[in-house]
Every structure is written in structure tokens, then in C-alpha cells.
Amino acid sequence: MSQTTSRQQFIGKLSASLNQLREEGLYKPERVISSRQGAVVTCDDGRQLINLCANNYLGLSGDESMVQASIDATREFGYGLSSVRFICGTQTVHKQLEKAIAEFVGTEDCILYAAAFDANGGVFEPLFDENDAIISDALNHASIIDGIRLCKAARYRYAHNDMADLETQLKAAADKRHRIIVTDGVFSMDGTIAQLDRICDLADQYDALVMIDECHASGFMGATGRGTHEHHNVMGRIDIITGTLGKALGGAMGGFTAARKEVIDTLRQKSRPYLFSNTLAPSITGASLSVLQRLSASTELRDRLHANTAHFRREIAALGFTIKPGTHPVVPVMLFDAPVAQKFAARLYELGVLVTGFFYPVVPMGQARVRVQLSAAHSIEQLNTALAAFAQAGRELGLIR
């Protein structure tokens, strides 16, 4: 008699749960692109689409300047280091990039990671313990939530963007040794900008530190693109800044934490994703350095992104669509109903526009949407072509008149 083994049961369980995801419409297929990333991409079915769903805010991901900078860095420093930083994985270009990031975001020092996920995963545990309190926005990124889980500090959560609840939590944590408030600088689902001016005031009032995750802000928020702290005029009042090299700042991969020297030195000694994971490839490190030099010399890309964003926000609203108000290049076009969001995104694909529908559980129930993300790489003509497709699909589905 044949018995099902534990292995067969294990695979059977996974198969059943995958089928359930498919039935619930929650299975995430992966779109296959056969071109570089950019304002227009080619998909593996041969279609050319205007891309409105990349985090390619400054349009650098597929840009020839980045390809050249990464080739130059590869020629000079090689393909890789086969080492963590502290053994033999630190080159001059890594030190230069850390210095450039620290200067750009306005801190004393900076430490590189393989990803912002690692930066957030490795920031709390070395710095805080059971005597301390971490006070976190309810909608913070998954990597912050995981990082906090790895740390013994007491956890406090405040309702998203709710300053009254933040104050309540600060009071509740008053007896702890250190308190740190943690928030995404910009929340990527709604494009909501954290109220850092008020958060810093509350931090002063309740003797707390402040940490921001700048993944959707570094390079373009604020007058010179330094980030949300520049946007809110609180540069110098933020204790810890984490960010990614995988979005606006080039779009390959890599992350960082920027802070005072003592904080960064402690992370270099004790942060596990830094100590036990390979150094960032020289091609990415060198190309990222070229981005920071470019952004420090000129706000042209940042300015073009904001002009594109203002144009799209104005015109999509004029067509009669409901958007979440704001100024960020994340523009949620609200459709409320999950099947409508799916149909709308599918129709836009046929019309040559790449967007993604988001629905529960990624966003709250009844808040289904397509999330548009603008880029400095888009031309106004491309945006107008995309807007015409939105208008057509919207009329066909009865969403606008």
C-alpha cells in the first residue's frame, strides 16, 4: 500500500494554496519585458507600451549614461569582490559613494547595503534593546516591520499619518530609555508625504529620535531632491535615514543608512545584513556615485519629474477621474472596485499603456486603483498619449463621461 510521504503532502499543500490565490484573483503574474526599462518598454509579446508603473522617477534605469557609468566602473574595479565589506570587499568607490550619499542627504556618515530591505532589516537590532521603544507608522514598509521584529525593543504602532495617535504612543513610551519614531518619508500606495515637520516637533517635545525611509523620495523630493526632510524643511533634525539605490537613484539595486558617525560605526560593527552579505557590485557603486554627482550639479531631472507630475495630475483630474490629491509622482487613480481596476488596467494594456491595478489586500477594501508613477523620462507627448488611452478606457467602462 502506498502512503503519501511528508514531502508529497508538503508540495500538495503549496499547490492548494497557490490555487486558492489564483481563484481569489490574488496571484501575481510577472510581466516579462524584453527591452531596457524606460518611458516606453517592449514586452515579450512584442507590444510597445508607455510605462507608468516603474519607480524610475528620474528616468535613469535604462539611460545610456548609466550603462556607460556602470561599464566604466566595471573596467576600473572589476565585476565583483567575492567578499563582505570588512574582509576585502571595500574599494575606494564604496567609500566615495558613502561620502557622497551622506553629503547629499545631509548626515555625517553613511553605510551601504545590498538593498534597502537589508538596511531596514539591519538597523534596529544593533541600536536598540528591551529598554527602548520603537514607534512605527501603521503603514510602514514591510522591511521596516521585519527589521523591528528582529529587535528586542518595545513596539508601539500609531495610526497611519495620525499625529494625535503618535503623541499618545510617545506618552505611552515615556518611561523607556530611548524612543525612536519611524516612518516612510513617502508612502508608496497613496503618495502620502509624512508630516515630518510635526513629527520632528513631537520628537523634540517627547525627547525621541526620528528615522525616515526615503525609498520613494531620495533624489527628487525637496527643492534640490535631497528628500522628504528637505521638502518639509527639517534637514538636520532627522537621526536616521534609509534609502534605496534601486528606484530614483539609478534603479539597479542597493540600499543605505545615513546618520551620525557613531550610529554608522555601530552598524558597521554589528549590523547583520552588512556583516554577513556580499559587498555591492562595483558597477552599481560607481554608477550610483555618478548619479549623486549629477543630481548635486543640477536639478534638471527632478524639475522635469515634477513638471510631468503636475501635468498628469491636472489632466487626469480634468478628464473626470478621481485621484488621491497631492504632489508626489505616485498618482493613485481611484476605481474603488477590484474587478473594475483589473479590467481597466487590462484595457489600458491593449491601448498601449502599462499600469498595474491594486486592490485588497494590497490596499484597503473598496480602495482599488491603478497607481500611476511619473518619470522624468516621459515626454509630454507620451503623457498625452497615455491620457487619451485613460479617457478611452474610462468611457468604455462607464467611469467617466
Ligand X SMILES: *Cc1c(COP(=O)(O)O)cnc(C)c1O
CA distance 335 to 19: 26
Span from 129-137, 212-220, 348-356, 366-374 in contact with ligand X (CB under 6 A)? 212-220
Active site residue 188: yes
For CA atoms 163, 167, 173, 179, give the dihedral sign. Answer: positive
Q: According to the binding rule CB under 6 A, does residue 255 interact with ligand X? A: yes
Place of cell 514531502: 7
Segment contacting ligand X (CB under 6 A): 115-123, 192-200, 218-226, 393-401? 115-123
Closest CA to 107 of 19, 15, 206, 237: 237
In angstroms, what is the C-alpha Rg of the chain?
Answer: 22
Segment near ligand X (CB under 6 A); pick from 93-101, 111-119, 311-319, 373-381: 111-119
Q: What is the DSSP letter of 33?
A: B
**CA neighbor of 62 nearest in space, from 391, 377, 322, 382:** 377
> Which residue, 237, 228, 251, 248, is CA-closest to 208?
237
Considering only residues 274 through 303, tell me which ones interact with ligand X, judged by CB under 6 A: none
Residue type, 364: P
Prior bond of 282 cis (ω within 30°):
no
Q: What is the greatest pairwise CA distance in the chain?
A: 75
Q: Is 184 in the site for ligand X (CB under 6 A)?
A: yes
215 binds ligand X (CB under 6 A): yes
Minimum gap (Å) between residue 213 Cβ and ligand X: 5
Say how far apart CA 91 and CA 280 lie, in whole Å.
Answer: 10
Q: Does 61 bind ligand X (CB under 6 A)?
A: no
Q: Give the nearest distance from C-beta 117 to ligand X in angstroms.
A: 3
What whole-number distance in Å separates Cα of residue 393 and Cα of residue 204?
50
Are 389 and 351 a contacting pair, CB within 8 Å?
Answer: yes
# residues contacting ligand X (CB under 6 A): 14
Of 252 and 340, the one with the shorter C-beta distance to ligand X is 252
Q: Of 185-204, which residues contact ligand X (CB under 6 A)?
A: 188
Q: Which stretch binds ligand X (CB under 6 A): 19-27, 194-202, 211-219, 371-379?
A: 211-219
| Minimum distance from residue 163 beta carbon to ligand X (Å) | 20
Would you say 154 or 248 has its CB closer to ligand X?
A: 248
Q: Which is nearer to ligand X, 193 or 215 (CB)?
A: 215
| Strand ranges for 172-213 from DSSP E | 179-184, 186-187, 192-193, 209-213
* Residue where the block lists cell 522628504: 228
DSSP designation for 368: E
Smallest distance, ligand X to C-beta of residue 115, A? 3
Q: How far is the CB of 125 from ligand X (least distance, A)?
A: 17
The smaller minimum CB distance to ligand X, of residues 188 and 367, is found at: 188
Of 38, 62, 126, 246, which lies in the binding site for ligand X, with binding defined by CB under 6 A?
Answer: 246
Q: Which of 111, 115, 134, 170 binds ligand X (CB under 6 A)?
A: 115
Rounded to an integer, what distance in angstroms lies between the CA atom of residue 166 and that of residue 179? 12
Instruction: Please check whether residue 179 is in contact with residue 209, taking contact to mean a CB–CB distance below 8 angstroms.
Output: yes
Which among 176, 229, 247, 328 is annotated as catalytic? 247
Per CB under 6 A, does 143 bind ligand X?
Answer: yes
Among 94, 141, 232, 306, binds ligand X (CB under 6 A): 141
Calculate ∠ Cα 161-165-169, nearest 5°: 120
Decide if 247 is catalytic: yes
Q: Kindly state whether residue 136 participates in binding ligand X, applying the rule CB under 6 A.
A: no
Task: CB nearer to ligand X: give 280 or 399.
Answer: 280
Cell numbers of 164, please? 494625535
Closest distance to ligand X from the beta carbon of 245 (Å): 7
CA-to-CA distance for 242 and 217, rounded, in angstroms?
Answer: 11
Task: Considering the candidates 94, 141, 176, 216, report the single residue annotated as catalytic.
Answer: 216
Instruction: Select 33 or 172, whichever has its Cβ closest to ligand X.
Output: 33
* CA–CA distance, 41 with 385 (Å, rounded to integer): 15
Q: Does residue 251 bind ligand X (CB under 6 A)?
A: no
The set of catalytic residues is 188, 216, 247
List interacting residues with ligand X (CB under 6 A): 115-117, 120, 141, 143, 184, 188, 213, 215-216, 244, 246, 255
